[in-house]
Structure 1
Amino acid sequence: MTLKKIVHMAQMTAADMREVAQRNPVILLPLGSFEDQGPHMPMGDYLLADAIAERIALAAMQEGCETYVAPVLPFGGADYFGYMPGGIALSQTTLRAVIEDMLGNLIRHGFTKLIILNGHGGNCTMIHDVTQSILKKNHIIIPSFYLWRVAAAYLPAVVGEEKAKQSGGHGANPLTSIALYLKPDLVKTENLKQQALDKKAWGLPVLDFGTVELNGVPISIPLEGDQTATQGIGRGNPYLCDGKTGEALTDHLVKIGVKLIKHLLEQ
């Protein structure tokens, strides 16, 4: 029987970690959120970010690139989901401090080959601010990529332009398809619901989270997601999501992740 290689730092012993630290391997830092992902989806999309990070690390190891996964940050930066009972989000100020501390602790002990795998749109601004600050102070470039944005960009190549347009959005593709592939037991398809296409907020047609339309122009308004979405579903029809699509998107994310690791090591 072939034992699965341990790549999660949380599963390693202190002795293992001291030995690994001497080699300054690549460390992946997955970030996610704990919010409304739609009535059919588990609230913790961080589970998917962590699962993809593990797959990237294992694939990189197979290609000779020593890579480990730091403990996932399950709480994302607050944006549109404060309405959700049980949801937990960090203020942007707190998120910045947490990311600074997480990266700072790794850098302190000589880990300089760091990559952020982001699974939440509300994290993007603080990731940029913190990594830019580290670049200025420590002269270390910490790349990151927003997993679901990359997957969404690849979606038309998997399902075609029209289906991608119809199914793409919060609570639908790409996240629902990826969940149906990676965590199918946590997706309750009997709860599937489509967005109310005629929904209005502030007296105007809804385009997306926090965005309405006025004379064909998108206008941002500071409303939470329950006023501009339908139970966590924004644009996109989740009925068009499936595990086969999720498998193709996951494979693409893993390949991109390994390419990024190789490029980081070349630098």
Structure 2
Amino acid sequence: MKAIALFLSSFLILSLTYAQSPSTREMDRINWMEFAEFVPEKIQTVLLPTGTLEPHGVINNGADNTAPFAMAKDIADDLNAMIAPTLNYGITGSMANYPGAFQITEEAYGPFIRDILKGLARNGFKNIIILNGHGGGQTAVLQKIAGEVANELGVRTLVINWWSYASDVTLEVFKEDGGHAGLNETAYIQAIDPTLVHKERYNPNQATAYPKQGTWSAVPFPSSIGLYQEEQGYPNFDEEQAKEYFEKVNAKVLKLIQDTIAKWDLAGL
């Protein structure tokens, strides 16, 4: 009898624990009735991955989407967050003419992202965290719109460019700076899915250092690998470093989000 009672007690504890977490963190995979059971009473945070389609050296054109979505999946449990569907199209800029790239104008992108953020707020999320995988003009639009929606609707927004925020992690792991489709971004994708990395296609001449401000500009940008520093950031395809980088970047981003939410709460915002 004691064994049966112990089993039933353990089963009850597991059932209660399970009930505290949804069957999936992904908004496009969860049922609407289950969503209503968790948001906003039990879950108030949502992660929105944003990116674009553009060339990335020897990794996939959708690397800017692959990275933030994988990051969201890795940290969602720790944040008790849902994951909104990735916004896969963005403001590509100087690489828009490469094969497979897409360019969404700012005039179209701005109102669209605004409606997405307003929709997330309407669904009950208080903390809207944008995990952005693509920089350039897209960053400015995201920051502007996110700020406006936060003030308008009384929600709390945070926009993170993961590769910039984790630049110190790049230096820690690789002992040098990275680049667009360079050492750091290639490693991050390699840790997610090695089949997306085509080492056999790599040629160092595919890389060009980004120009210092006011020196030169070219459209299309002449290389699909853009280095942040001269002679630094060439991909090395090291599997162990890739895994280390992935884990340390995610840990740093996770802490930023946790600290920000804690400070919002402390301030009563």
Normalised-by-shorter TM-score class: 0.7 to 0.9
**Shift of residue 265 of structure 1?**
3.6
For residues 146-203 of structure 1, give each alpha carbon's deviation from its aligned partner in whole angstroms, at most 9, with x where no partner exists: 012223331111122xxx14xx212212110111111101111100111367xxxxxx
Counterpart among 51, 58, 63 of residue 70 in structure 2? 51
Structure 2 residue aligned with 1:92, among 69, 90, 106? 106
- The higher relative CO (CA closer than 8 Å, separation ≥ 6) is in 1
Q: Is the counterpart of residue 193 in structure 1 residue 208 in structure 2?
A: no
- Cα deviations by residue, 1:106-164 (Å, 9 ceiling, x for unpaired): 1122211111101000320111110121233223330121012223331111122xxx1
1:16–1:261 CA distance, 2 compared to 1 (3 A)? farther
Q: Structure 2: 5+ residue runs without aligned partners?
A: 1-17
C-alpha distance after superposition, 1:18-58 (max 9, x if no partner): 112232421000111211001x2111110121111100113
Who is 2:35 aligned against?
17
| Runs of at least 5 residues in structure 1 that lack an aligned partner in the other structure | 198-205
Aligned residue number for residue 54 of structure 2: 35
Q: RMSD of the alignment, in Å? A: 2.4
Q: Secondary structure of the residue that 1:79 maps to in structure 2?
A: coil
| 1:252 counterpart residue number | 248
SS of residue in 1 equivalent to 2:131: strand
Cα distance change of structure 1 residues 152 and 243 upon mapping to structure 2, 3 Å threshold? farther
CA distance in 2, matches of 1:91, 1:222: 19
2: CA distance between counterparts of 1:97 and 1:152?
30
Quick check: 1:170 aligned with 2:186?
no
Q: How does 1:1-267 map to 2 (within 5 A)?
A: 6-23=24-41, 24-38=43-57, 40-45=58-63, 46-58=65-77, 60=78, 65-122=79-136, 123-160=138-175, 164-165=176-177, 168-195=178-205, 207-208=209-210, 211=211, 218-219=214-215, 221=217, 223-225=219-221, 227=222, 229=223, 232-235=224-227, 236-266=232-262, 267=265
In 2, Cα distance between the equivalents of 1:98 and 1:82? 20
- TM-score if structure 1 supplies the norm length? 0.80
Contact 1:100–1:130 (CA under 8 A) maintained in structure 2: yes
Deviates more, 1:100-109 or 1:239-248: 239-248
Deviates more, 1:90-99 or 1:236-245: 236-245
Q: Which has the larger radius of gyration?
A: 2
* % identity of equivalent residues: 22
- Amino acid aligned to 2:226: G
Give the Å deviation of 1:5.
5.6
Distance 1:153 1:47 in 2: 22
In structure 2, C-alpha distance between the alignment counterparts of 1:196 and 1:259, rounded to whole Å: 35
Q: Distance in 1 between matches of 2:135 and 2:99?
A: 20
Q: Is the CA contact 1:151–1:249 (under 8 Å) kept in the aligned structure 2?
A: no
Would the aligned equivalents of 2:48 and 2:86 in 1 still touch at CA under 8 Å? yes
Q: Contact 1:195/1:233 (CA < 8 Å) preserved in 2?
A: no
Normalised by the length of structure 2, the TM-score is 0.79
Residues 29 and 115 of structure 1 are in contact (CA less than 8 Å); yes or no, is this contact kept in structure 2? yes
Q: CA 1:140/1:222 → structure 2, altered by over 3 Å: closer, same or farther? A: farther
